[in-house]
Chains A and B, each alone.
Chain A
């Protein structure tokens, strides 16, 4: 991925770009909004990471400007301000995701991956397939090795989301936001419990596990 990182805090920028570089991504860093806008327009990025508070310009205004200049690359906003209203404001400005500091690098990376993949195709695919697991969107049925799995609606949605992001880590908070629509983090093992129920249906009766837990970050589905 070709990533533009706009972040004025050197330590945070170092933390992010080191992680991204180690993951084999290419990072361009800008420390202020004005130069970032020029850089964003002059070359092609897969994802843009934008800090909410930048010297000289509010990150939201910058995002708005980017969208006005027809930059379509997904944008994720980083912020030290948490609160739903800010989140909504960020999304309304044209950002695609919103992450509150401090965050684990794996959380950011999982979201970046999800964003960069979110491009057209598999959203409109009528069928998702991971190994011998097949999810039919038209009939909302899931089969593995031809055997129909009896999933609850929520389990179906979790599985669908995992399969859309095949091979990529989906974090607990991503699931909370996308599946439950919660902006807060319940203490209870809500996600864990539902995931273990799902795995009991999807993996347990079969020889190979498709869904695996990535300790400290989330879940991934893959056939490998």
Chain B
């Protein structure tokens, strides 16, 4: 059943693939966004670093030359050495530095007290409570002496910040949108897949339970439908095989029953005629004939099985079909003459196939035997062998009663006989064997004319 297909969603390959691909795509998108923001950011950072370093050197040299108090004094613009928010706010427009000089107690000696940073290089936020605003800065804090350090910051350009913030917004939006979308996509794709596979699985399951006629849907022109086409072809073949097997069983039962019951009859007659040796001899001989018929049918069935199973293919070698047929015709001509039938032959020389000479002979004999068995007295029969492109065409025909149109489909089936009373000679396996042998050789056989007369054409791949 189709439900057998489903386990957990996590086991569905389509689900996992979709998630994997979506995840990968998300990563790529985020990476692209990061790269878009990183370039202006790192340019700004590099510029700021150079400027901050220069400013720091300036502060150091001022300290060295004029001492701490003078340094503090230089940072006192109008309102004392410690800056207020207003002063810092003004700096943004002046492209100047935000500076803070602190002692080892973290008390601000000069500059902006809200500028807080660890030692070293980084970027940070500076709060201007008065303006209810925050500046982003690149910042460096370094020692000036044992108990004094300085923090120098450069306010980051608004353009750069906008780019970064934009990138952040887009990234978050992308993640928020992408993950559920990918999940929905994965779930619905796997459900679709389950549904389509389920249709096939359901058919397979029911065919497995003897509904040989069911086929998988092929209406849509997608890969599932094409897959189903292949499955259906297999089911077609299997159905034919199964039906063949069925008809074989019936045929075997039917065809073996007659000689077996005849044998049984003869045994009873022997019992009754025990005092008459001549009669017994007659019964024994008749029994042997029935036995021969029985064995012949069995032999033909086994051979047919062997050929259909492709067992003989291993021994294939080049066979000169023209010579083989010529020799065969030579052997059969007297038989045709005795049966008051004429066989006209037209065989192109030196046509070869890769195959099994013994089987090819049997194939031709079976067709010609058909003519002998079923053609009327004085019948005309013909055998033409010629090349047709890449193939050899073998035509065997006669002007006999032929095969009723309604039954032409069945001629190659096992145990098929035009005369279904089974009174004519033969076991109905001859043409099945012809078909099996021609197919074993990579060719095929067709009934090309059937009423009146009968003409078969075998096509075999030519061997050069």
By a beta-carbon cutoff of 8 Å, the part of chain A in contact with chain B is 82-85, 88, 102, 104, 152, 154, 180-190, 193-194, 197, 215-216
Could you tell me the distance in whole angstroms from the C-beta of B50 to the nearest C-beta in chain A?
Answer: 91
A186 to B358, CA, bound (A): 12
Given contacts A184-B358, A188-B365, contact A84 B315 (CB under 8 A): yes
B362 contacts which chain A residues (CB < 8 A)?
Answer: 182, 184, 186
**Are A154 and B331 in touch, CB under 8 angstroms?**
yes
A184 to B331, CA, bound (A): 15
Given contacts A184-B362, A185-B296, A187-B425, contact A197 B334 (CB under 8 A): yes
**28 pairs from A and B in contact (CB 8 Å cutoff):** A82-B299, A82-B302, A83-B306, A84-B315, A84-B358, A85-B312, A102-B291, A104-B288, A152-B330, A180-B331, A181-B357, A182-B361, A182-B362, A184-B299, A185-B299, A186-B362, A186-B365, A186-B369, A187-B369, A187-B426, A188-B335, A188-B365, A188-B372, A190-B335, A193-B334, A193-B338, A216-B285, A216-B288
A185 contacts which chain B residues (CB < 8 A)?
Answer: 296, 299
Could you tell me the distance in whole angstroms from the C-beta of A180 to the nearest C-beta in chain B?
Answer: 7
9 further A-B contacts with Cβ under 8 Å, apart from A83-B306, A190-B335, are A82-B302, A83-B302, A85-B312, A88-B315, A104-B288, A152-B330, A154-B331, A182-B362, A186-B369
**Contact among A184, A193, A215 for B335, CB-based, below 8 A:** A193
A84 contacts which chain B residues (CB < 8 A)?
Answer: 312, 315, 356, 358
Could you tell me the distance in whole angstroms from the C-beta of A152 to the nearest C-beta in chain B?
Answer: 8
B299 contacts which chain A residues (CB < 8 A)?
Answer: 82, 184-185
Q: Considering residues B312, B335, B357, B425, which has the most beta carbons from chain A within 10 angstroms of its beta carbon?
A: B335
Could you tell me the distance in whole angstroms from the C-beta of A55 to the nearest C-beta in chain B?
Answer: 24
**Are B358 and A182 in touch, CB under 8 angstroms?**
yes
A186 to B296, CA, bound (A): 10
> Which of B376-433 touch A at CB < 8 Å?
425-426, 430
Given contacts A184-B303, A184-B358, A185-B299, contact A85 B311 (CB under 8 A): yes
A84 to chain B: closest residue by CB: B358
A152 contacts which chain B residues (CB < 8 A)?
Answer: 330
A180 to B329, CA, bound (A): 12
Closest 3 CB pairs of A and B: A193-B335, A193-B334, A186-B365
A179 to chain B: closest residue by CB: B331
> Which of B338-394 touch A at CB < 8 Å?
338, 356-358, 361-362, 365, 369, 372-373
A215 to B282, CA, bound (A): 12
A189 contacts which chain B residues (CB < 8 A)?
Answer: 335, 338
A197 to chain B: closest residue by CB: B334
B253 at the interface (CB under 8 A from A): no
Could you tell me the distance in whole angstroms from the C-beta of B383 to the nearest C-beta in chain A?
Answer: 15
